Amino acid sequence: MFIPRNIESSILNLISKFPIISLTGPRQSGKTTLLKNMFPNYQYVSLDYIDNREFAINDPRGFLEKYDKYVIIDEAQRVPQIFNYLQGKVDNDQIMGQYILSGSQNFLLLQSITQSLAGRVAILRLLPFDFSELNAQQLLENNYLTHCFKGFYPSIYDRKIDSPFFYDSYIESYVERDIRTIINVKDLSLFRLFLKLCAGRAGQLLNLNAVANECGISSNTARSWLSILETSYIVFVLPPYFQNINKRLIKAPKLYFWDTGLLSFLLDIKHSDQLESHYLRGNIFENLVIAEMFKTNYHRLQQRNFYFYRDSNQNEIDLMIQNAAKFDLVEIKSSKTINTEFFKGIQYFEKHMPNLIQNKYLIFGGDDSYKRQEVNVLGWKSSSKILE
């Protein structure tokens, strides 16, 4: 079952404006399926296969003669030297939409693009399903805890794979394949521990030195491993907002996972019922909503800037969405019952920085949407409507 993706309109818009489209994202996010469905008349070649890879490595000109136009090249980062030849070919041919490059190792793919194809390629990201994509197919459940546990990877919905089995296999293949390709991790069990420690800090300020100490690795190693997790679309960070822009670059960000199913698996959650009383339920729900905002932002090519706010007195706004010089303020609460305490952060911000506020929102674990104390209260399913 193919589920349409919101990014399709952006791809169709850009393919007539650039000779090369690059679609990156985590493994199993549906890149190949999407491209084959959108462009059935394009040739398809995967550099994951050793014969294709050796052809591209040993005879790049011959490879591009065979695959000369309207081609999807999957796992393109496996042969980085082909990018130099692609540059000359697209410059010579001047055909828009001539090649579509797909890859799951964002670091290697973007490194090759920036070195050889700058200005010739439009870069897009396909992430696991967002709420609206599932909702359009009537696959969005009524209880957010189900999705926190189940996650949003297409295989779980297309092939009805049990989440724990999927994520167990996903981590094995991810660690064995991608991590060893990018960096030399000698002790895989130590890396898995690092991954679990990051999961335990989802939705919290990231103290990388503390993670390194607990894991028994150096701070530099922890920094390197976190960077790989980011470029492989396992985790992302949310920067803090300060009116002094330099402070945004030096204060601790908050850590989140792109997929709450993977996060729940790393936290050893065996069933969605466990989440009801789990000590990190609030953090996991916050992760669910903020990941939804980021996914929607990428899938719809909105290019919004996101921050959080926290001062020395622990006054906090979970999410700030920049609109020119002003911000939409978003508080996120997992409870299905609204409490007046939930509005304290917004009220504090409004009292001290009213000129920065455009809209005020509270996203909670219930279904209803209404207005209270001049704040737009949204059920979790409606959270991405903020970006519409």
Q: Is the pLDDT of residue 358 over 60?
A: yes
Which residue carries 């209803």 as its tokens? 368
Tokens of 123: 């870069």
Q: Give the C-alpha separation, 359 to 6, whole Å.
A: 25
- State pLDDT tens for residues 221-273: 999 899 889 988 999 999 999 877 666 655 899 999 999 999 999 999 999 99
Task: Assign 68 to helix, strand or coil.
Answer: coil
Enter the pTM of the model.
0.94
CB 96 within 8 A of CB 15: yes
**Beta strands across the sheet bearing 99-103:** 43-46, 71-74, 99-103, 20-24, 121-125
CATH architecture of 8-125: 3-Layer(aba) Sandwich (3.40)
pLDDT-based confidence at 110, cuts 50/70/90?
A: low
- Going by the DSSP 8-state scheme, the letter that residue 88 receives in this structure is H
- State pLDDT tens for residues 168-201: 999 988 876 777 767 777 778 889 999 999 999 9
Q: Is the pLDDT of residue 151 over 70?
A: yes
pLDDT of residue 105: 65
Q: Give the C-alpha separation, 108 to 182, whole Å.
A: 8
- Going by the DSSP 8-state scheme, the letter that residue 386 receives in this structure is G
- Going by the DSSP 8-state scheme, the letter that residue 75 receives in this structure is T
Best CATH choice for the domain 131-286 from the list 3.30.465.10, 3.40.30.10, 3.40.50.620, 1.10.10.10: 1.10.10.10
Q: Give the C-alpha separation, 231 to 129, whole Å.
A: 19
Parse the chain into domains and list their residue ranges: 8-125, 131-286, 306-387
> Residue 220 burial by CB count (10 A; 0-12/13-18/19+): exposed, middle or buried?
exposed
Q: Give the C-alpha separation, 284 to 290, whole Å.
A: 10
Q: What is the DSSP string of 234-303?
A: SEEEEPBP-SSHHHHTTS--EEEES-HHHHHHHTT--SGGGGGG-TTHHHHHHHHHHHHHHHHHHHTT--
Q: Give the C-alpha separation, 151 to 129, whole Å.
A: 9
CB neighbour burial string for 76-96, b if at least 16 within 10 angstroms, e if fewer: bbbbbebbebbbebbeeeeee
Q: Is the pLDDT of residue 107 over 60?
A: no
Q: Give the C-alpha separation, 246 to 363, whole Å.
A: 30
Q: Is it true that 8-125 and 131-286 share their CATH fold?
A: no
Tokens of 9: 């309109």
Instruction: Return the axis-axis angle of helices 106-116 and 219-231, rounded to nearest 10°.
Output: 80
CB 114 within 8 A of CB 24: no
